[in-house]
Structure 1
Amino acid sequence: MAEFTLRQLQYFVAVVDHGSVTAAARQCSISQAAASMSISQLEHAVGVELLIRTRSKTVAPTQAGVELAARARRILGLAGEIGAAVAGAFDEMRGKLRIGCSATLSPRVLPRLVGQFHRNYPAVELTFREGAAARLQEDVRNGRLDAAFVYALQSEEDLDRIEVAQVRQHLMLPADHPLAGRREIRFQDVADEPAILLDIPPAIDRVVSMMQAAGVEPKLRWPSSNMETIRSLVAHGLGYSFVNYGPGPETAADHPGVVYIPIANKLPANPVVAMLPRGVKVPRRVAVAIDFVRAAAAETDRSG
C-alpha cells in the first residue's frame, strides 16, 4: 500500500489549485524547496507522475493527478472533521457542505436550502457556487463541490445522478400579452414574435433545437446571460422567453409584468437532478440537502 501523508496531499492540492509550486508554497507558508520535495515524495509513494512541469514554471495535473486531487480533497475534508467529531456531538451534523447550482435554478433552490441549514444545522458550514452546468460538474468531479443541482439534459454520464424534481417547460410572456390567459401554449402561437433566450451554452442551442423540431424557426433577439434582464425585457413587451418552470406561489409576486404558461408541444423530459461523484458514499449532510430540495419542490407542486 502506498504510504503518504495528509500534509503531502494538502501541498499537492494547493499546487493543483494554484498552478504553481511557488504560489502553493506561499499559500501553505512553506519554502518552495519543501513543497517540491513533498510532491516528489508523493509521486514516489503512488508510483506515477502527478504533475506536468513547463518551462514557464507553471504546472498542470496529469490524468492521474486530476483523479488523485479529487480524492485528496475528500480525504482532507474528512480529516478536518475528526477533531470536531471526537470532541463530542457525534449525532450532530457538522462539517463543510459545498453545493453548486445552475444559474437558472439557483434563485429557486439556494435561498431555502441555505435557510434550512442556517436554522437547523448551524454546525454545517454551507457554501455555494452558481454557474454553468458543465463547470459545476467539473468541480464535482475534481472534488471542489460535494454536489451540484442542474437539469438532466445538462448532466454528464461519468457522475452519479439523483433526480430531485420533475419540471415542465414554460413560455414567459408579458402579463398583458393577448395569450397571457391561456392554460397552455404552443411554440407556433408565438412563432412571429421575438425570442429572448438565455445565452448560456448549451441552453440557447437546446431551446432552438426544440423549437425547430416543432416546426418553428425562432426569431432570436437580444440574447442575455442574465435571467433578470430577460425577464425585464419580456415584461416590457419586447418578446417571449423559455423557462423550465414558472415560479411557485412563494415567488410569483417577485416577478411582476410576466406570466408563465406551460408549453403544449411534446418536449423531452428535463428534471432537476443532483450530480455526485461517481461511486462515492454520500455524506449525511449531502443526503439531507438533496432530500430537502426534493421535498421543497414537491411542496411547491402541491401548492401550485
Structure 2
Amino acid sequence: MRYTLRQIEYFIATAETGSITLASERVNISQPSISTAIAHLEQELDTQLFVRRHAQGLTLTPAGKALLVEAKRLVEHAQQLYEVASEANDKIRGQLTLGCMVTLAPMIMPELSHAFTSAFPSTKVMQVVGDHDTLLQKLASAEIDVAITYDLHVPEGFDFVPLASLPPHVLVGEIHPFARLSAVTVKDIASEPLLLLDLPISREYFLAIFMQEGLTPHIAARSPHQDILRTMVANGYGYTLANVRPRSDTAMDGRKVVRVRLAGDHRPMVIGLVSPKERRKSRLIELFENHCRNRISDAYIPGMVAPVMEKRIRLD
C-alpha cells in the first residue's frame, strides 16, 4: 500500500468542501500539501478523482464518489483501532468532530474544547460551525460526531440532550429609549425597526414571538451574522431579538449594547447535544458528552451570562 491515511483524510476534506483552499483550512495544512496528496492518490490508484473547474472548484468523478464512500469507512475503521486500544489500556485518545450552532460557537467552543483536550491530552477536537439545518445534515452524513445546537427542530432519528435554557431578550443601543427600561413587551417593540437574525429555524422562532401575540414586526433589516446585527444595534439602526447572552456588552466596533428583558411567557431556546440515534457512540464521544453536561447548565455557560446569573443581576 503506497498511500497513507493522512492522504485519505486530505482527499475526504477536499471532496466534502469542493475546494483545496477550504480543505486546507479544515485540516490545517498547506494547500500544496493537499494538492500533492490528491495527485499522489490519483497516480497510485491510476484514476482521476476530481474534475477541476476554475469557476466551480472541484467536482468528484464517478470513481471519486465511489472512493469517498470507502475512504470514510477506512478512516472510521482506523479510528476504531484507537478506541480498542484506549479501552484496553484505559487511555483516552483519538479525534472527535464537534459541530456547533453559529450563534453559540464564538462563546462556547473555545473554552469547551480546550478544557476537554487539556483533561485528555491524547485527544483532538475538530470544530465545525453552521446553522441548525446544516449541522443536522452533517450529523446525518457522519461528517460530524455530535453537535451543540438548539431544540427548535430535532427530527426523528436524532437524540437531544438538554443542557441550558435561554429565554429571548431585546438588544438595543445604549442611547435607545428602551435601554432605560427593565423590561418591554412584544407590543412595545412591534412598531420599532427590527434587525432580524436571518438563519433557518432561528428566523421562524423570532417571528413566532410576534405571531402568538397577533402582531406583525416592522423588519428594517436582516442578516445571518449575529455580530453585524449587534453592531447595527449599537449604532442606532433599531433593536434585535436574541437568546445568547455574551459576557461582553460591546459590539465589534466598541460601542455598547444593552440587554432588556422581554416580558411575557415566551418559549426559550434550549441548548443541547444532538446525535444520531442509531449510530454507535465511542467511548471518546461519551466522555465528551459527559464533559458538556458538566460544563453547560443554567448556572454556567462558557462565554455567556448564564440564566441563573442573569436573575441574580436583576435582583441586585
Counterpart CA distance in 1 for 2:195 and 2:63 is: 39
Question: Match of 1:252?
Answer: 248
How far residue 303 of structure 1 moved from its aligned partner, in angstroms, is: 3.7
Cα drift, residue 107 of structure 1: 1.8
Task: Please list every run of 5 or more consecutive structure 1 residues that lacks an aligned counterpart in the other structure.
Answer: 1-6, 37-55
Report the equivalent of 1:148. Answer: 147
Does residue 18 of structure 1 match 2:15?
A: yes
Structure 1 consecutive aligned stretches of length 4 or more whose deviation exceeds 4 Å: 13-17, 30-36, 65-73, 253-256
Q: What amino acid is the match of 2:197?
A: L
- Given that 1:102 and 1:132 are in contact with CA atoms closer than 8 Å, whether structure 2 keeps it comes out as yes
In 1, distance between residues paired with 2:60 and 2:236?
54
Question: In 1, distance between residues paired with 2:79 and 2:152?
Answer: 30
Preserved contact between residue 195 and residue 218 of structure 1 (Cα < 8 Å): yes
The TM-score, its normalising length taken from structure 1, stands at 0.73
Other-structure match for 2:208: 209
Shift of 1:73: 5.4
Whichever residue aligns with residue 137 of structure 2, its letter is: E
Q: Secondary structure at the match of 1:282?
A: coil
Aligned 8 A contact 1:69 1:143 in 2: no
Given that 1:70 and 1:144 are in contact with CA atoms closer than 8 Å, whether structure 2 keeps it comes out as: no
* Partner of residue 79, structure 2: 77
* Contact in 2 for aligned 1:246/1:261 (Cα 8 Å): no
In the alignment, which of 59, 64, 77 is matched to residue 62 of structure 2?
A: 59
- Pick closer, same or farther for the CA change 1:82–1:237 going to 2, 3 Å: closer
Shift in alpha-carbon separation, 1:143–1:214, aligned structure 2, 3 A: same
State the AA in 2 paired with 1:156. P
Query: Residue deviations 1:15-43, cap 9 Å, x none?
Result: 897389xx99x73844579588xxxxxxx
The structure in which a higher percent of residues are strand is 2
Corresponding residue number in structure 2 for 1:115? 114
Question: What are the within-5 Å matches in structure 2 for residues 17-36 of structure 1?
Answer: 18=15, 27=38, 29-30=40-41, 34=45
Instruction: Provide the C-alpha distance between the structure 2 equivalents of 1:214 and 1:66, rounded to a whole number of angstroms.
Output: 50
**Aligned partner of 1:27: which letter?**
I
1:220, CA displacement in angstroms?
1.0
1:57–1:14 CA distance, 2 compared to 1 (3 A): closer
Return the letter of the residue paired with 2:61: T
Alignment of structure 1 residues 147-296 onto 2, 5 Å:
147-247=146-246, 251-255=247-251, 257-296=256-295
Alignment partner, residue 46 of structure 1: none
Please tell me whether the aligned partners of residues 194 and 218 of structure 2 are also in contact (alpha carbons under 8 angstroms).
Answer: yes
1:183–1:76 CA distance, 2 compared to 1 (3 A): farther
Amino acid at match of 1:259: V
Structure 2 residue runs of 5 or longer lacking an equivalent are 19-33, 48-58, 301-306, 311-316
Q: Distance in 1 between matches of 2:192 and 2:63?
A: 48
The range that moved more, 258-267 or 133-142, is 258-267
Equivalent residue runs for 1:94-105 within 5 Å: 94-105=93-104
Letter in 2 for 1:240: Y
Q: Counterpart of 1:166 in 2: which secondary structure?
A: strand
2:89 aligns to what SS in structure 1? Answer: coil
How far, CA to CA, are the matches of 1:57 and 1:293 in structure 2?
37
* Residue identity in the other structure for 2:163: V
- Once residues 137 and 61 of structure 1 are traced to their aligned partners in structure 2, the CA distance between those partners, rounded to angstroms, is 24
Shift of 1:69: 8.2
TM-score relative to the length of structure 2:
0.70
- Closer, same or farther in 2 for the Cα pair 1:123/1:134, shift >3 Å? same
Distance 1:68 1:213 in 2: 49
Counterpart in 1 of 2:89? 90
Distance in 2, Cα, partners of 1:227 & 1:211: 20
Deviations 1:203-245 (A, max 9, x none): 2233223312222211112211211110011111211111123
Amino acid at match of 2:62: V
Alpha-carbon shift at residue 191 of structure 1 (Å): 1.5
Looking at structure 2, the residues matched to 97 and 143 of structure 1 have their Cα atoms a distance apart, in angstroms, of 11
Report the Cα offset of residue 199 of structure 1: 1.7
Identity %: 22
Distance (whole Å) between structure 2 residues aligned to residue 221 and residue 111 of structure 1: 33
Tell me: CA distance 1:72–1:31, structure 2 relative to 1, closer, same or farther (3 Å): closer
Work out the CA distance in 2 between the residues paired with 1:289 and 1:220.
Answer: 40
Change beyond 3 A, Cα 1:31–1:241: closer
**For 2:235 and 2:40, how far apart are their aligned partners in 1?**
55
Q: Secondary structure at the match of 2:198?
A: coil
User: Which segment drifts farther, 292-301 or 166-175?
Assistant: 292-301
Aligned length: 269
Distance 1:67 1:202, change over 3 A: farther
